[in-house]
A and B are shown apart, each in its own frame.
Chain A
């Protein structure tokens, strides 16, 4: 009856796995909710900021700001955002694949590429195969503006010092819980801003600027970088937890399927063993009756 015992043991093991995956699903769900709230709370800030920037840039022109400088491109850098932990389906793999394709494409154009990995998975993947720098990990536990500013401080000074000519950001765009979309976005040089739509009368009023409009606009440009990075981190984090929720939900369902098919097998084996025992007994009595 070893087979019976084996099946029983297997059922127990799968049931335990199911408990774990279900717990992980719930943890991911609560983290996802927090990440989603963060994203929603950020929207008014990003919206007002872009509005102000668009409005201001339509009034004042900055041709010479170093962050807008378009140079002949030779060296580029790319920030790759991935999660710190796995068990979230193809989430990190998709981002890494996009990064690899991006690198190959740019290298074929004869450009020198450097990667700035943010998040453990991307860092570990590229550590040995590729030139990386300013890597960060374990940042998704505490996401705030200070983090975005500190990442920006790694990338803004070298761009101004002309150590590289273009910067891209590879991150996960959050569409909804089940749809994650890896995105590539150019950060430097900052693309020209969309001019504000047809001005209404209130926009015709002259603004007072304190300090000068030019100074404000120049200070707003680094902030634009902060806003973009913060948004990318928030979306990547929401995507990671959404993907993990889906992956763990799937795993739980698979466990349930396995348990039911194993139970069926177990019952069949049990019946078979009872039948064979009965056959033995019946055979025994028949033999006795004949004698």
Chain B
């Protein structure tokens, strides 16, 4: 088996993380899944939520927003729309976004096109608040 696993988190704004890690827990669209070194090759889609990275017995958290995970035994590449490290999250802004999304959802009917968008915004805000609380 390979001895280590390299994680790379790539977003449109640049490379958010690059390094050797022990374990990564990913919020997949089909449910959370963990990746250790030596994982079978896999391509999975990532949803909105908290990504957790374990390295040398300490954990780093990222609030992530939709993308894809490409897994090979020695390499994990995450292509994500956004990834924010927990200690860099602006909690107040996230809470404001949450409030805005909640108000929007109250006003809209379920089959409105904007409803799904507001729902996604709500999820994103919640993910950021939850992630920020974990650091």
Q: Interface SS of chain A: helix, strand, loop or mixed?
A: helix
Question: Is B6 in contact with chain A by the CB < 8 A criterion?
Answer: no
A209 near B43 (CB under 8 angstroms)?
yes
Q: How far is the CA of A220 from the CA of B44 in the complex (A)?
A: 12
Size category of the binding interface on chain A: 20 to 34
Is there contact, CB below 8 Å, between A211 and B12?
A: no
Query: For residue B79, which residues in chain A have a CB less than 8 angstroms away from its CB?
Result: 45, 48-49, 52
- Knowing A56-B43, A216-B45, the reply to whether A45 touches B82 (Cβ < 8 A) is no
In the bound complex, how far is the Cα of B13 from the Cα of A207, in angstroms? Answer: 28
Query: Known: A210-B30, A211-B29. Is A144-B45 also a contact (CB below 8 A)?
Result: no
Question: Are B68 and A216 in contact, CB atoms less than 8 angstroms apart?
Answer: yes
Report A45-69 residues with CB < 8 Å from chain B CB: 45, 48-49, 52, 56
Tell me the bound Cα distance from A215 to B72 in angstroms.
Answer: 20
Which residues of chain B come closer than 8 Å to A144, judged between CB atoms? 12-13
- Would you give the 0/1 interface string for A197-238, flagging 1 where the beta carbon is closer than 8 Å to chain B? 000001001111111010110011000000000100000000
Number of interface residues of B (CB under 8 A): 23
Residues of A within 8 A of B19 (CB): none
Residues of chain A having any CB pair with chain B under 8 Å = 38, 41-42, 44-45, 48-49, 52, 56, 144-145, 202, 205-211, 213, 215-216, 219-220, 230
Using A45-B12, A52-B79 as known contacts, list a sample of 9 further A-B pairs with CB atoms less than 8 Å apart, ordered by residue number in A: A41-B15, A45-B11, A45-B79, A145-B81, A206-B41, A210-B28, A210-B33, A211-B45, A216-B68
A-B CB contact pairs (8 Å), 26 listed: A38-B13, A41-B13, A42-B12, A42-B14, A44-B10, A44-B15, A45-B11, A45-B12, A48-B10, A48-B70, A48-B79, A49-B79, A145-B82, A205-B41, A207-B41, A208-B40, A208-B41, A208-B43, A209-B43, A210-B33, A210-B42, A210-B45, A211-B45, A213-B43, A215-B45, A216-B43
